[in-house]
Amino acid sequence: MATTLAVEPAVLDTDPQRLRRLVEEGLAALVRDTPEPLRALCGEALGVTDLDGRPARNGGKRLRPLLCLLSCEASGGAVEDALHAALALECVHAFSLVHDDIVDGDRERRGRPSLWAAAGMSLALNAGDALHALACATAVRAGAWTASLVHGATMSMIEGQHLDLCAEGALAPTVAEWERLAVRKTGALFAAAAAAGAASAGASDEVVEAWWDLGESLGLAFQARDDVLGVWGDPAVTGKPAGSDLARRKASLPVACALEAGGVAAEALRRDLANPGSSVALLLERLEGCDAASRVALAEAGYMEKLRLARAEAIPPGARGHAVSELIDGLAGRQA
């Protein structure tokens, strides 16, 4: 029998630490309900246990479940109304990271060995599949409407990953093509989190749609900042080598902005991107020649303005929308 998730009564102006605790406890309960042979692997992937089954807190920032819970409260509901939706989305996010690490060959995740590096590729793939199944079951418990939001976002995320894989190693896409990829790969789960929270509060279709637009805008701005850090971020802060996205020829916003500049500098960048022997240092120099940093800053400003408008449409003024506004503010201009 599935575990019943026990939560505290909701309060206005929710304490983020209390919400984080609810998420961690809920995920731990889901892990306890998985078949025993998979339990430690799923717990490790979710960051609630280690591979020996001991309690751990290595699950990252929990942005998507927190957004889901806070959008529910902002829409007039109680956080417990959206807990199953929030947990389902975190399971989707976790399974995508397990598979991403395998595809990318990344041996570390949040300062620890990635699941495939620690347990082997076959077991990691199986655990990722189990997390997807766990996400589906948990979403159904949240209700049919919410489950459809989670399912649609999951398919969009997988489509975005497919587009990213097809673009990697090839010449970078246009900014418009980058946006199409980012909205699916990153924006879909943020959109589902925001919309599922509102739906869990019993909001109208119009309100749920406004929250979806907000989440999608947040995902676009989030991915833009992630791409900037992947090219120009401080390795001491990001934990990634300088220019790591350039080394892998990822379809990033800085490269797309630079290529759209046109001219001799852009053609030199295009040529060097196509050459596997081109160093990161050379590619960074080519980006500078295209004034890529300034062009990306303009693009980011546009995404932030779009996010501002979406926030004004979805988030109610006053105390009820305060906590979700603070969460979004914390993501703007992040350095890691």
91-130 pLDDT tens trace: 999 999 999 999 988 898 888 899 999 999 999 999 999 9
Q: Which residues contact 87 (CB under 8 A, 6 or more apart)?
A: 5, 23, 26, 27, 30, 65, 138
**Whole-model pTM?**
0.91
SS3 92: helix
Euclidean distance between CA atoms 189 and 135, whole angstroms: 13
CB atoms within 10 A of CB 20: 17
Q: What per-residue confidence (pLDDT) applies to 192?
A: 98
235-271 pLDDT tens trace: 877 767 778 889 888 889 999 999 999 999 999 999 9
Q: Which residues contact 181 (CB under 8 A, 6 or more apart)?
A: 160, 163, 164, 167, 173, 251
As a whole number, mean pLDDT of residues 207-225 equals 96
Structural domains in the chain, CATH included, are 16-331 (1.10.600.10)
- 233 φ/ψ angles, rounded to the nearest 5 degrees: -65, 155
Q: What per-residue confidence (pLDDT) applies to 9?
A: 40
Give 11's pLDDT tier (boundaries 50, 70, 90): very low
Per-position DSSP letters for 207-236, written without gaps between them: HHHHHHHHHHHHHHHHHHHHHHHHHH--HH
User: Per-residue pLDDT for 333 more than 70?
Assistant: no
Are the beta carbons of 75 and 201 closer than 8 angstroms?
A: yes
Q: What is the mean pLDDT of the chain?
A: 90
CB atoms within 10 A of CB 3: 12
Q: What per-residue confidence (pLDDT) applies to 242?
A: 78
